[in-house]
Structure 1
């Protein structure tokens, strides 16, 4: 039995009516709240009544809910003006069952911490005491004339109760017979008892102490030794063997090599060279570091994994990798971020191209497009021109060549000098 008698207000909790949810739905909740709903639905005789009850709960037809040991009670609005009185009953624990439950909860400090965070650990729910209701343990009652088991009003109350359990597992413990304050006090007492027994049984020597006056006395500490100079280059990681069903050893090697290079740069300069990259930029950087180009049989799996993590497609990643290899972070910005350059170099590029006997390029923002739609120049914020190619009529632009301060130089290798 508990060390102190529970107070009446600890054994009665009232929750206000819930407003109508989005689209009138109840929503997904915790695993223990779902177990409560499973116990209801597995013993229900009419799925249609359950569906009506879920709809009632989702549309806020359940008034304030009162929870006491072994019972949850509320008025539910149906089709008639006067609401119906619905009740769900659940067997409470015996003193022996409570002793087993409390011993299991106090044995691991993590259990108490989880309960305080309004979480129910599975290990605690499976400690040998049937905390979660089994099919047939929930007994619905209602003042309406419907003889269904449960009727839609009792089902609505049950779904509303599941929401309360999601938010606070102490509601389930109250239904099993104990209130929150009494439970926490008893858990604290048992935890202290276990700690005292553990301390008495321990034969380990106590740590030597020091007087507070001595610990807080001002003193001059010797200077710290100079740090060791960093290695001239990061070392190679160990080889990762391939295993059936395991991760790609090449991908692991690439990630480990990249982490070693970043750590080496951080030790040498105090700065992480990729700390300011977004998730997408870092995915592009990692994929660009892999040898080869385009989507091949060996690279497709890694491209798809990296692209999915950033919410993009493998084709998006392949195009971005080409831009990164063309100009690094600035090259990727040229691919994805059109901008309006000021008057000057951009306006001077068209007469320069005409003087080199290229046809008139069509300007749009920072881009100049060949009239045949197969070549394009993009001016980056770094003042370099980036060349792009596309199949005729497809508007599918891919980075090509090397950036150049001169638009003719950026195009020459691609256009072959032809107009």
Structure 2
């Protein structure tokens, strides 16, 4: 329930129920709000405390007004603290730019009426020099507990605001300095037809703004307004790093068989893989490349284990990989040196065709000066130093992989090389075998 006071200059939201599982932000703009908090907080532990307080329903009614949100947050002992989070209001010049841009983009207005924050609205606003969403350091904290940075109380308020933003992006616009009614009135006054035409569609949209700002835009009207929409934008730039999945750190005891640490790890690995795929998709000429095959299960287990933090997850993957823990450790080393190709050399022993074998022998003979060549015994694609603990393995692509004997097992010792002497030097220290 929302109360409105002071000609819509302030909105008060009743306290929300405790959160039972799941994250705090379902929308991309709610997650962006939380990222501004989590990236800037100097004490990550206080952020976790705030998340737990918000999850437990310790945040009271939230007052939202231009430049500030306020609530009373209760500690576990019942002590209440007034917490405020401040966000810089947009200047009059910034609002003029934003409104001028919005009247030219009927789709942006229609999305806001439907309680959505379209990414292109934020991108177009940024192009016009207006930052709608908070960035690093934009959320300032004030709390009567005396903390000078974000404490558990202001962090809890931020998590609660993320839930409110999920429901209504106009909450963010109010914090930036404009009420919903004032925005719609100004859009109606400014509404003009673009040079591209579409008078009738634009009039229909203006009529929707004047008559009702709660019911959204009729689908037929939105379709008719398509003539005044801009062309599709260029593909977005590749993010500098993968996104951060939500934390599953909670006081609630996980259900039997559910491992939050493992789920967080899988989510993080999924984000990494998504970032890699996006990088490939944005590369020029990607649409001309054939689709790659998915990794088989036994390789994907190794890929996951190679990115696992600590040992507990890797050990669990080893138990289910069919390799055992020691075997998985060797496979992880092979993967880190050469991905799927490095793993194939670890697992495969294959017969080298006569033509490929001749090329391999020629490469071995020319790699060292006369009298410096080590004595190598070949078996299929594996060339072992006689009387030593070094081995070369020939990959199907013609590259040489160095191996070293460790505790009776051959272990990957470095990345592949096109020259056998270079590969052997990585494991045996050069020609002096």
On whether the aligned pair clears a TM of 0.5, the verdict is: no
Structure index of larger Rg: 1
Query: TM-score if structure 2 supplies the norm length?
Result: 0.43
TM-score by length of 1: 0.45
